[in-house]
Amino acid sequence: MRKLKFNNNPKEKNIGFSENEINILIKELNIQNEVFINYLENAGKKSNIFDVDFLDANQYISLQNEFRKLIDNDSDINLKTNSICFFNYTFDYYNNKYFYFIKTDERLTNPNIFYYSNGEVPIGVNFRDERTEKIGIVDKKSGFSNHINYQTELKFGTSIIKQIKGYFILTLFFPFGLLLIVYFEIKKRY
């Protein structure tokens, strides 16, 4: 399983669902993806990187069902809604609601993130390319785990341990790099 990075900032804590709530969510929403379950356990109720806040599992299930009905009622979209769950939603400049979701029936370690917009963007607006479509993939290369980790680093910065590791590796390999440069310069001249 791919590791998700969470920053438990004392001012902005992540709040996950309890074990009992997780079992209810797994059963009711058909969640099989372990990475997503890990996210729900650690930051499902309230995440410090997304602006969503759920009171309990019942509210989360209710909102998921509304989201699934929204997609079911859209004749342009052909998607099995019993196997998707959103984890974040935002509003754009035109007050359209954007849902970010994954397919939860796939046991991938890093599932793709999709978006769905319930609104339309006026013609001629090129604010964001995917805004002209109602549904699409956020980033084919990134995936859910990388997205969560990237959003955490974006909001809280790189950890000090990672910075120290980077400096350590740089100082460790710098002399070898310098020797290679000198070696090729000498070889070029003779």
pLDDT at 121: 55
What CATH topology corresponds to 19-157?
SMI1/KNR4-like (3.40.1580)
Q: How many residues make up the chain in this entry? A: 190
Q: Evaluate if pTM is beyond 0.85.
A: no
Place of tokens 């995936």: 143
At a CB cut-off of 8 Å and minimum separation 6, what does 117 contact?
A: 92, 96, 97, 98, 99, 131, 133, 134, 135
What are the boundaries of each domain within the chain? Answer: 19-157, 159-190
The residue behind tokens 């607006």 is 125
* Tens digit of pLDDT at every position of the chain (190 positions): 567 777 777 778 888 999 999 999 999 998 988 889 989 998 888 888 888 888 899 999 999 999 999 888 877 777 788 888 988 888 877 778 888 888 888 777 788 888 888 776 554 444 444 445 677 777 777 788 888 888 888 777 766 676 677 777 888 888 888 888 888 888 888 7
Query: What are the distances in angstroms from CA 77 to CA 7, 23, 60, 102, 135?
Result: 36, 30, 23, 15, 8
From the centroid of its chain, how far is CA 128? 18
